[in-house]
Chain A
C-alpha cells in the first residue's frame, strides 16, 4: 500500500447540530498523525467515519483516488479502528478471543501472535476470561489484535488510557516498528502519554 488516506471537506452533524465542518487532511504511508482537539470536538466521530463505522456524512474519505465507500468489506483489513473501550467477547478467555479474531481475519502468522503476547506480558492471563481482566489488560489485547491484523492505516482512539508506563512504551515501540514497514497511524490522546511519540503531523479539530 503506497497510497495516502485523504479526507476532503468532511462535515458531520447530529440532529442539525454541527460536530465539525470542512475537515481536510492527508495521512501519508508510514506516518504518525496526531488528531487533537477538546472534548466533544468530534475526534471519535471522525475516526469512526474514516473506519467506515459511520456512513452518513458529507464530504469524502478516500485511499488514493478510491473512495472508501467503493471498497467492499476488505476496507476493514486496510483501515482498523481500536475503540477506547473493550470490543472483546467478555465470556471468552484472552487466548480464545485472540484465536477467534485470527481465524476471522484469516491470519496465519503464529509467531507474530506469540511475540506480541510476550511483548505485552500477557502469558499469565491467557486462560483468564476477559471480564476477569483489568481494563489495562483488556486494552493490551485490543491493541495486540490490531497489530496482528496489521492494517495499512491504524486508527487508535485513546490507546494509552488504562495502560501503565511500561505498556505505553511497548506500544510506542510497536508503532515505530510498524511505521518502518510503511504503516500509518492516526492517534488521539488526551492523557499526554503519547508525548514521547514523534508525530509527523497534527490535525486540529
Chain B
C-alpha cells in the first residue's frame, strides 16, 4: 500500500480541475473540500462544504457531480462517495450524485430541464473571463490587438510566454476547447463568444464589456472566501 499517498495526491489533482462556475476557480483552491480519503481498496470519499447553508443547489449539484466524474476517470478508482455537508439540500444532492441521477430526477417538480443550459452559460462566462485576462496580459507584454485578432490557436500555443502568461493561456485554451470541441488548431485563437471575429479597433470597448465577468467572479470569490472562513471558525468554535 505504498502508493496510497500518491493516490491521494491524484485525487487532489483531479479536484483541481473542478471549478465553482460562479467563481471560475477550482473547488480545491477555494478550500471547499474539507476531507479526502482513499481506502486500501481504492474507495475514494470526499466531503465538501460551501460558504453558506443557502448556496444555490444547482451549482452545488454541478460541483458534486463534476467531482465524482473527475475522480472516476482514474482507472484505479473502485468507488467514489461525495458528501456535501451543512446545506439545506444536502440530502437530495448527495443521494442524486450517488445514484448518478440527472438533476431533474434529483429535484422532481422543481426543474424544467437538466443543467445543460446553465452549464453552457457559465462555460461562456469562463471563456470571456479567461480571454480578457489573457488579452490584457498580451497587450501588456507588447502584442498588438491587430495581430491577436488574426492568429490561430496553433500560433497562440507556440507563443513564448512567461510564467503568468503560460498560466493564463492554459486556462483560456481549456475553455476554448470545451466551448468549441469541433474546432481545430487552425481556427482563430481569439473570437467573441458569439463566434464573431474581434475588431481590433473596438478592442478597448470589447474588453470593457467582457471584463464584467471578471468583476463578478471576483466579487463571488471574495464573498465566498470570507463567508467560508467565518463558517469554519464557527464550526471549530462549536466543537471546542
Partners in one complex: no
Interface of A toward B, CB cutoff 8 Å: none
